Amino acid sequence: MIKFLLSALIVFLFQYDLLSQQVNVPLIITDGFNSDTLRYGLDPAATDGIDSPLGEFELPPVPPTGIFDARFVGTGIGVPIGEGLRKDFRTGNNSTVGSRTHRIQYKTGSGTTIRLIWQSMPPGVSVRIQDIIIGSLIDTTFSGSGNYLITNPLGFSALNFTVNYNLSQPTTLNLKLAIEGLYNSALNNLNIKDTVRIYLRSASSPYTIIDSSKSMLDSLSLMGTFIFGNLTTGNYYIAVKHRNGLETWSKSGGENFIQGSTVNYDFTTSSAQAFGSNMKLKGSKYCFYSGDNNQDGFINATDKTQIISRLGISGRITEDLDGNNFINAKDRAIVVGNLGINKITP
């Protein structure tokens, strides 16, 4: 009984280790008659050598001519994996950014060509394959799903296999803001939920857009959660755009974002939270100006004319500044009160 329990425990631990790779990607290699599945990826416990706890085991020597074979080898890239492996994991995890170099070697059996097949590679993972002769006779990069045919496997019996990982965790921005026309100061909420888009811009000239995200602004909390997948650590301006609100940026100097972390920012507490203090106090909350219907950065006669031309129209449309699904004198009064206001940016 004890022997059985020990055996079961060993099997369980072995299976756990096999499943523990944080990135585990299959690659099928076939000559049309026979095939092998190689696996590569990342694990925090992996080394460049043979990691038996991760299911890596050295293969027997390459079989003679006429017998199909495919494996990872360390020849030419300085990786100590003996005769080769079916699995080759390297150190890393599911937030790794960088590359790992492998080499694949293969030989046909009954077939005359070699085909590489990849399916549903994880987002953020791509592979570049190159011949080992000069590196440009075969040179292609792939991701997602697909295949690549090698018509002369005798001439190209091995390939450098460089895996590029961009698995950084997304950055989250929890943002609180109020749009003047939509904000009900008596109830301290928005008349409707509405969509806003955030652009994160470099904090230095020319203030390039680095990433953007769109989300719904909650009517009760005035909060929206925005996810950015292409952001690196640095200082950024938070630039907010709403369909009829005046574009507004966060305060001078930008905000510090750490890749993979969460940032909280509240525009409603003070006019100084906006660049150039470009907000309007309504009740207890500082709000973005409403009325830039054509989104040119100015609230002017053009915006007023746009509202006048649509008076009496109902529906969820741009000129409905207060969110009651009807364009009337209240919307006109909002834009008239803000004539001459323009966006302020660095």
Q: What percent of the chain has pLDDT above 90? A: 79
If one compares 22 and 78, the residue with the highest pLDDT of the two is 78
User: In the chain, what are the domains?
Assistant: 21-166 (no CATH), 171-337 (2.60.40.4130)
Give the model's pLDDT for residue 229: 82
Q: Which helix (H) or strand (E) holds 5?
A: helix 2-18
Give the model's pLDDT for residue 345: 95
Give the model's pLDDT for residue 251: 95
The CA distance from 305 to 302, in Å, is 5
The CA distance from 150 to 116, in Å, is 8
Burial 64-100 (b: 16+ CB within 10 A, else e): eeeebbbbbbbeebebebeebbbbbbbebebebeeeb
Query: How many Cβ atoms from other residues are within 10 Å of residue 189's Cβ?
Result: 16
The CA distance from 30 to 62, in Å, is 16
Query: How much is the average pLDDT of 321-338?
Result: 90
Task: Using the predicted structure, report yes or no on whether residue 69 has a pLDDT greater than 80.
Answer: yes
The CA distance from 136 to 149, in Å, is 16
Query: How much is the average pLDDT of 267-278?
Result: 96
DSSP letters, 188-224, are TEESS-EEEEEEEEESSTT--EEEEEEEEEPTTT-EE
Residue 161 CB-density burial (10 A; 0-12 exposed, 13-18 middle, 19+ buried): buried
Q: Encoding tokens for residue 9? A: 């425990």
Give the model's pLDDT for residue 96: 86
Give the model's pLDDT for residue 169: 77
Task: Using the predicted structure, report yes or no on whether residue 18 has a pLDDT greater than 50.
Answer: no
Query: How much is the average pLDDT of 90-118?
Result: 94
Give the model's pLDDT for residue 13: 34
Q: Which helix (H) or strand (E) holds 331?
A: helix 329-337
Of residues 242, 253, 318, the one with CA closest to residue 287: 242
Of residues 286, 289, 259, the one with CA closest to residue 270: 286
Q: What percent of the chain has pLDDT above 70? A: 94
Q: pLDDT band at 315, cuts 50/70/90? A: confident
Give the model's pLDDT for residue 15: 34
Considering the entire predicted model, what is its pTM?
0.59
187-215: per-residue pLDDT in tens? 999 999 999 999 999 999 999 999 999 99
156-185: per-residue pLDDT in tens? 999 999 999 988 778 999 999 999 999 999
**70, 104 Cβ separation under 8 angstroms:** yes
Q: Which residues pair with 190 in a beta bridge?
A: 183
Q: pLDDT band at 6, cuts 50/70/90? A: very low
Secondary structure of residue 290 in the 3-state scheme:
strand
If one compares 343 and 9, the residue with the highest pLDDT of the two is 343
Give the model's pLDDT for residue 37: 98
Give the model's pLDDT for residue 247: 97
Give the model's pLDDT for residue 162: 97
Give the model's pLDDT for residue 11: 34
Q: Encoding tokens for residue 97? A: 């950014």
Q: Which residues pair with 171 in a beta bridge?
A: 228
Task: Using the predicted structure, report yes or no on whether residue 321 has a pLDDT greater than 70.
Answer: yes
pLDDT, averaged across the chain:
90
If one compares 229 and 218, the residue with the highest pLDDT of the two is 218
